[in-house]
Structure 1
């Protein structure tokens, strides 16, 4: 009986040791705590202006499961991914214990008051157009594709262009 117990203990220890050596799946690192958010936002604004797009700041951290879920949705869903690419310059702005980007967030009107992720839309001049609480885009354990698309469409350059509405009026 002692031999069986010893063999079982050794087998368990061996399996446990191998499990510790197994590669752990890490979540993607989409936020960079070392990034210079102010400089990155300035570059994104310049790029957006040149491309006639708006800037979408996704503020959060690698620690935030909802931030990662949102990023997963908009990068893997072909419709959302294309719409973002066509209308926005997207920038992930870090908020974590290593770097809270407090001065940048203060200049953006303290969007962290809504939790994370939180989205800030800027125009090609750097003007803040909208701050979006991501809670309104949630559905179940993720985000609703339809709600996200509606948000993106509502703050796209075309939605804010007076010419879009003049053309609709002429068509009537």
Structure 2
């Protein structure tokens, strides 16, 4: 299964690199109101493979990670996430400044089985994955961990978004490299 996931992500990366010959752009040049359609809604008619290629390309251009959100319009908790983000503009802003959001529909009308077979198992809906812009899967996340009681928690969301942001990953990598260099000396 790990080889299937690695192969799928490698193919997506290769395709996204071929499709992305444009120069790098800054997130400041992407107004949040102009999010791609795949970041706004669950749509059972969309091709998740094409959306993933587009999301990876955008993440590379804007130096962000990809947050894949699995769910559907039928999902009560998916609507609660959307409402939570709409009611917390600072968290919404942090999400879109650090991640390209890719919503993938899973429903009775389209289970997107081929796409889903390349991902770790979903524990409930919505379910989130974090990927690098190069397609390396970093995290599979049950969104119940973002709750405090029956509501989504501001502090849990902010900690989650910060922990897996590219900035934090680079800081952690730098600290690890510094520790390794000091133990070698």
Residue 141 of structure 1 deviates from its aligned partner by 2.9
- Give aligned pairs, total: 138
Question: Which residue in the other structure is 1:89 paired with?
Answer: 100
**What is the CA–CA distance in structure 2 between the aligned matches of 1:47 and 1:93, rounded to whole Å?**
16
- Aligned to 1:117, which of 117, 122, 126? 126
Alpha-carbon spacing, 1:79–1:158, altered in 2? closer, same or farther (3 Å): same
Q: What RMSD over aligned residues (CA atoms) do the two structures have, in Å? A: 1.9
Residue 149 of structure 1 deviates from its aligned partner by 1.1
Mark the structure with the bigger radius of gyration.
Answer: 1
Q: Does 1:102 align with 2:109?
A: no
SS in structure 2 at match of 1:158: helix
Question: Which residue in the other structure is 2:53 paired with?
Answer: 42
Q: After TM superposition, what 4+ stretches of structure 1 lie above 6 angstroms from structure 2?
A: 164-167
Residue 85 of structure 1 deviates from its aligned partner by 1.7
Q: What's the TM-score, normalizing by structure 1?
A: 0.74
Give runs of aligned pairs for residues 43-82 of structure 1, distance below 5 A: 43-82=54-93
SS in structure 1 at match of 2:117: helix
CA contact (8 A) 1:158 1:164 kept: no
Q: What's the TM-score, normalizing by structure 2?
A: 0.69
Per-residue CA deviations over 1:22-42 (Å, capped at 9, x if unaligned) read: xxxxxxx92101110111011
- Structure 1 stretch displaced more, 101-110 or 30-39: 101-110
**What is the CA–CA distance in structure 1 between the aligned matches of 2:117 and 2:163, rounded to whole Å?**
24
Alpha-carbon spacing, 1:123–1:100, altered in 2? closer, same or farther (3 Å): same
